Structure 1
């Protein structure tokens, strides 16, 4: 899809040959922003925009307003086109550039209403918050007054519109959408229930075993979460697939989305060689060009001295450190979305039943402009429980309209919370700031120079009157309404725990018996968290170098569990020469399984894992629903639980035994690898099939991939290793696409010596020397200094751009 529309757009201006010719090269070079110079603009006092040898911006201002203005200016210098696509994606305006193929994607995001909600939120901001966001927008717009626009604007023959506060807020809400919802899980379980029965479908969500790693070890006696609530709703598999495809349209354009997970951990001074806490964080998102993150260092005397990353288009630092403290995030995958089955008035499609009466819905007349086509108009119908989402794709087979209730539709001010976190000087101030952070809900670890470590789940998690959020519920009654949000003091937290460390990897936070509230059912598999804990406990005194080695770890604990369950079955089988050789390799590798790219063992293991999952689930779910199941990520825990179960409910009555599934999965895996990597198992390597390319939106077009993409590189790891490199399971199997765009480590004995590394580089502009100058570090497992002290920044300064006030 994207390839076709991109070729049309590019050819209309340059022609493909011109882009890769010398003329195209100079056209791209001429569009690069100047990183040295000065400009008279709307700042109160002079501001310095310094860049180090990796193009990382260090911004020095005398007021908060000027600092955020400068940050907007710097973001636009390096990432304006990425910001353009992000705000258009959130607003449902991509068809204006790319034509009719993205109309359904636009219709989804218009229906969800990120930009509409963001615009409404602007009016609810307090004066300081509005001033700060306006300062950032003014900085972006000051850059728009310069002549150096990214070359993509010329390709699409458009001029950038002024940046607004709502643009920044809508990007924040897009991240909340990608990291904090389960709408598609509810749709999948509904369709699966129609296919195999509701009770059996719910076995597709596995429970955590008692021995699996949890964030909090303390225990208390509280009530368990509620059982699954039956749903009187049905939806066809193709409808789920069509809605999911609408969401996927953004990913093809490199707009940040779907998260694999993340790791963070903090170690107390009692377990560190320096005697002060150590903190590490690597958030897992799409690995792409340009990176989803932007590194920056923000300084205002006696107010800001903070360094870390942010999403381009948003002010502040989302994760990083200042001179007193550091923090890291991982996603909770919270259940903050519910689908409600609606009963429309048969005589008025704009009215829906509630408590025995029909209520008017809000109706917004939407118009999507389409490049090369007629505008697409539709009604966006918003009930008391949110917008009707089953109208996104016209004519999809559902038994009733569904509306989406989502915590993010309420007023939130995460950006102001983030700026307060940036300025915090101790745990009390930091925690106060966190209380304002609503979405997406995050596991936050903390360390400070005083020696404190802490964990806090931050975010708004709904309390349901009834139901568990797994399936659509009736919207015509108040039985399933949200009554409140979990109170701050009731959210999981700990401060200076006795064990001396805290680790999170999207794993379960606390046992059901210890938590009276439902947070989510969609916990990540426990293997990354368990491995992190193993490595922390293996050494008495840890160093910053140890933190970095942990982030780079490829030990596969899932294989430690699964392969011993498989081998007794496989060793009884009758195998051909290649299968026998592969079995011997798997057996030897499993003695100490690492997902290293130069080994055959992980290739055999992961191919068998995928093929066995396919054998177990696809026959009953069918191809479309199986694809959706894999896309939700739920299959990992469910399959591993099934392997441990002596009598799996899922296989009951199917005629397929667990042993048969394992045998068939192994045979299919060997055949797959022979086709992909050659006939001889001894010559296979994980890196032959598991390869990473930092893909740009233009990279699908040959030969433009040679310019815009970086890769492919043979790469290790998988979805279950600490150094994550999750791969596609269906389309282009084993192509690595998710991992840690940014790695961050810090020793609070010397916060100024913090180190990080980011995929690709600081600039999103092809032709910039900083387009991909960190990739070699990232791939080689190396780190660089974040240059925090003024003298270090000065010593490594390469560029300086001055923003000067306009005076009489």
Structure 2
């Protein structure tokens, strides 16, 4: 998000450019942390921090307090500025250090209320977890206090110093991750404006329906309990105005990730039982798909406290513990369940009081929050946030656009003069305690303990795969998924009536789950979790089935799998979508009138369809993906008109819609028009060839996917020249695409630069937990000038891995630097 929207004032830019010149070397080197020797600090007993050859910290402490203090300290050593930007963005405090261009971003994030939700939920956090959070914060603050004169160079560039870290900063990160992984609101907004005006049968045909042949994670017959429930699905046609929808989409476009829903945000994980492995013990693999940049989204660490913790894996910088990884007994991995956990309620506002709303025939007072957004170089902006019984009013959060020639409005009132106040009901606004769940994962010694931990984790809802040294494997959907009194969450509902309230959440033992299945594995790739007989509505926003299908194929095609097979699978680039639809494209194009360049491109495409691998050296993927990109506009814009196409194209529905149309020999989408699927394919192909010929030359045989499909691991400050030369890593030619297991996602709005993928890959054989392997996109350190800033990039690009080192002996044998924190 920050890379997309960061704009700084001219005065700051001059400082940045000066820092990038000769004086930068001294500044950078001076800021590098001490990772060897001894430091006196606020620990109770000595703590050893062993850095391996990749700079990953292995923390050895005698008390829980010291363990998390040291984890906070090393995270601050390596990722302090990344943590800083994270908390300022989430808390709506970017304008304070970056100027008035960030006012709208800050206002929107304060309106959604990530930090507010975390603060309101602190009372539910387990007291022991609060101690861990405070110890972690104390460690971060010890680093800050000790480094006031040699903080990371970015602080000098932007001209401020960090405030003390707090437990609330850590808790807020979890709320924001739930937002990043929840995308249903876009579809709901589009449906709110389109359903009352467009052909409903055609619109609903664009919702992708899983076929019986498409893999689900479990079958309901694998669940030990039969579920019968009558869930109402009456869908109101609540009409939203274009102006209302425009205003919210503008806010979402300004503040959200660079890729749109359905373009790869998600993950892969799978677990295979010992009966299908060479070692005789389970194998587990996980690669979570999020934004790619510098530093990496994840931080690797190993935490050891005798008798309680010996856990290794990844965590979000700014958070204690390990969110995905392994200990001596169990391993686990996550993918996004992609449930519909966001509902929009149209509120009826009292015409005489903008802070009152109707509910079941009576007016009630909404909660009104007065916020002050401090602005660097300008007066503060006062923001009024209104929260109804359903959640914050999100309409008109960008009521004043700030430009170079216009000072920011000094008062923003979201609920005043609003034609259609929309309030957001969202599960992550609930008081939840995910940190306790995570720390319980880290300590779990068996599935009973691990399942008890999963029950505490509410948002974001995830698919969890599990393996242990006893040979058990398990899958469980985890998180709060609403049960609605009416409706299915696809369109906004009346907020003035109790008819559409949530009745509660799906009970734990009724969520999709299974243990030790007869087939010997579980595989998830954001696909539908359970077959069609499951009675509860979970989502319309599952990913297309191709990654899950390919993972299933690779597991089933070999009798005995190895850890090396897991590694190979995570970088597999076979495009099953192209394989399925190739005959449809060939049939449409064979009878088309093509010029010489188009004919050569068609010949390239036909040959590639025989084995459609998104290899960076091949020309076929260039033709295919360029054609597919053009199909979004060609298939839908003529039939939706410009009024609706913009909103439609900001949802996941174009991906689903194309899939439905290509599978259907007589799609309803074109009925009653002069258009046809075949004509649309030919037009898209011709547009794609002309586009690629302009950029890559007239000979399609010489085009290469890797030349157009590149990855740049960009730092937030790397958007400003010449800092891009210092901070950014790349561009690199790379294979894969949005639909391959080795996912390398790009936005259909800005093809083909890779913006989504797996920042961290992880594989483990439970026969040898010391041999677990992983790889980051960048390195352990976010400090420019560190030897470990980008020392894992080559591993990641080449599909190679490093050993994580787990046993005391292995850590000692591979340790390169040891820092001891001594009591003061």
Question: If the length of structure 2 is used for normalisation, what is the TM-score?
Answer: 0.94
Q: In structure 1, what is the equivalent of residue 405 of structure 2?
A: none
User: What is the alpha-carbon distance in structure 2 between the residues aligned to residue 358 and residue 393 of structure 1?
Assistant: 27
1:300-699 → structure 2 map (5 Å cutoff): 300-394=305-399, 399-512=419-532, 514-622=533-641, 625-699=644-718
Q: Deviations for 1:716-751, whole angstroms, at most 9, x for unmatched residues?
A: 0001000000112113x1111101111110000001
User: What is the alpha-carbon distance in structure 1 between the residues aligned to residue 427 and residue 298 of structure 2?
Assistant: 25
Between 1:711-720 and 1:150-159, the stretch displaced more is: 150-159
- Report deviation, 1:3: 8.0
Q: Does 1:169 align with 2:188?
A: no
Q: Does 1:717 align with 2:722?
A: no
Q: In structure 2, what is the equivalent of residue 762 of structure 1?
A: 780
- Report deviation, 1:614: 1.6
User: What is the alpha-carbon distance in structure 2 between the residues aligned to residue 216 and residue 598 of structure 1?
Assistant: 37
Q: In structure 2, what is the equivalent of residue 91 of structure 1?
A: 91
Residues 368 and 377, structure 1, Cα contact 8 Å, conserved in 2? yes
- Report deviation, 1:253: 11
Q: Deviations for 1:272-298, whole angstroms, at most 9, x for unmatched residues?
A: 000000000000001111110000000
User: What is the alpha-carbon distance in structure 2 between the residues aligned to residue 166 and residue 520 of structure 1?
Assistant: 31
Q: In structure 1, what is the equivalent of residue 411 of structure 2?
A: none
User: What is the alpha-carbon distance in structure 1 between the residues aligned to residue 699 and residue 344 of structure 2?
Assistant: 50
- Report deviation, 1:613: 2.0
Q: In structure 1, what is the equivalent of residue 403 of structure 2?
A: none
- Return closer, same or farther for 1:52/1:442 CA change in 2, 3 Å cut-off: same
User: What is the alpha-carbon distance in structure 1 between the residues aligned to residue 617 and residue 65 of structure 2?
Assistant: 51
User: What is the alpha-carbon distance in structure 1 between the residues aligned to residue 6 and residue 299 of structure 2?
Assistant: 30
Residues 193 and 240, structure 2, Cα contact 8 Å, conserved in 1? yes
- Report deviation, 1:252: 7.8
| 3-state secondary structure, aligned to 1:291 | coil
Q: In structure 2, what is the equivalent of residue 232 of structure 1?
A: 238
Between 1:791-800 and 1:553-562, the stretch displaced more is: 791-800
- Return closer, same or farther for 1:598/1:225 CA change in 2, 3 Å cut-off: farther
- Report deviation, 1:488: 0.5
User: What is the alpha-carbon distance in structure 2 between the residues aligned to residue 334 and residue 467 of structure 1?
Assistant: 15
Residues 718 and 724, structure 1, Cα contact 8 Å, conserved in 2? yes
- Report deviation, 1:20: 3.2
User: What is the alpha-carbon distance in structure 2 between the residues aligned to residue 470 and residue 382 of structure 1?
Assistant: 22
User: What is the alpha-carbon distance in structure 1 between the residues aligned to residue 255 and residue 35 of structure 2?
Assistant: 30
User: What is the alpha-carbon distance in structure 2 between the residues aligned to residue 223 and residue 655 of structure 1?
Assistant: 44
Residues 575 and 613, structure 2, Cα contact 8 Å, conserved in 1? yes
- Return closer, same or farther for 1:434/1:97 CA change in 2, 3 Å cut-off: same
Q: Does 1:153 align with 2:155?
A: yes
Q: Deviations for 1:221-244, whole angstroms, at most 9, x for unmatched residues?
A: 8568654612323131x6545534
Structure 1, unaligned runs of 5 or more:
none
| 3-state secondary structure, aligned to 1:380 | strand
- Report deviation, 1:511: 2.3
Q: In structure 2, what is the equivalent of residue 63 of structure 1?
A: 63
- Return closer, same or farther for 1:293/1:67 CA change in 2, 3 Å cut-off: same
Residues 325 and 449, structure 1, Cα contact 8 Å, conserved in 2? yes
Q: In structure 1, what is the equivalent of residue 288 of structure 2?
A: 283
User: What is the alpha-carbon distance in structure 1 between the residues aligned to residue 35 and residue 255 of structure 2?
Assistant: 30
User: What is the alpha-carbon distance in structure 2 between the residues aligned to residue 224 and residue 622 of structure 1?
Assistant: 38
- Report deviation, 1:658: 0.7
Residues 181 and 334, structure 1, Cα contact 8 Å, conserved in 2? no
| 3-state secondary structure, aligned to 1:412 | coil
Between 1:631-640 and 1:320-329, the stretch displaced more is: 631-640
User: What is the alpha-carbon distance in structure 2 between the residues aligned to residue 252 and residue 127 of structure 1?
Assistant: 34
- Return closer, same or farther for 1:626/1:771 CA change in 2, 3 Å cut-off: farther
Residues 97 and 156, structure 1, Cα contact 8 Å, conserved in 2? yes
Q: Deviations for 1:37-58, whole angstroms, at most 9, x for unmatched residues?
A: 3222221111112211111111
User: What is the alpha-carbon distance in structure 1 between the residues aligned to residue 258 and residue 670 of structure 2?
Assistant: 40
Between 1:562-571 and 1:196-205, the stretch displaced more is: 196-205
Alignment equivalent of 1:216, drawn from 207, 215, 218? 218
- Report deviation, 1:654: 3.8
User: What is the alpha-carbon distance in structure 2 between the residues aligned to residue 55 and residue 283 of structure 1?
Assistant: 22
- Report deviation, 1:622: 4.5
Q: Deviations for 1:498-540, whole angstroms, at most 9, x for unmatched residues?
A: 000100000001123x211111110001000000000000000
- Report deviation, 1:647: 2.8
| 3-state secondary structure, aligned to 1:693 | strand
Calculate the aligned-residue CA RMSD, in Å: 2.1
Q: Deviations for 1:387-443, whole angstroms, at most 9, x for unmatched residues?
A: 101131228997511001111111100001100010000000000111101110000
User: What is the alpha-carbon distance in structure 2 between the residues aligned to residue 716 and residue 253 of structure 1?
Assistant: 19
- Report deviation, 1:249: 4.3
| 3-state secondary structure, aligned to 1:22 | coil
- Return closer, same or farther for 1:419/1:352 CA change in 2, 3 Å cut-off: same
- Return closer, same or farther for 1:795/1:628 CA change in 2, 3 Å cut-off: farther
- Return closer, same or farther for 1:3/1:543 CA change in 2, 3 Å cut-off: closer
- Return closer, same or farther for 1:240/1:372 CA change in 2, 3 Å cut-off: farther
Structure 2, unaligned runs of 5 or more:
401-413
Q: In structure 2, what is the equivalent of residue 295 of structure 1?
A: 300
Q: Does 1:24 align with 2:39?
A: no
Q: Deviations for 1:599-640, whole angstroms, at most 9, x for unmatched residues?
A: 000111111111122201122345575454444333222211
Residues 437 and 456, structure 2, Cα contact 8 Å, conserved in 1? yes
Residues 9 and 99, structure 2, Cα contact 8 Å, conserved in 1? no
Q: In structure 2, what is the equivalent of residue 260 of structure 1?
A: 265
| 3-state secondary structure, aligned to 1:762 | coil
User: What is the alpha-carbon distance in structure 2 between the residues aligned to residue 693 and residue 206 of structure 1?
Assistant: 32
Q: In structure 1, what is the equivalent of residue 801 of structure 2?
A: 783
Residues 71 and 315, structure 1, Cα contact 8 Å, conserved in 2? yes
Between 1:537-546 and 1:373-382, the stretch displaced more is: 373-382
Q: In structure 2, what is the equivalent of residue 141 of structure 1?
A: 141
User: What is the alpha-carbon distance in structure 2 between the residues aligned to residue 488 and residue 227 of structure 1?
Assistant: 22
Q: In structure 2, what is the equivalent of residue 196 of structure 1?
A: 198
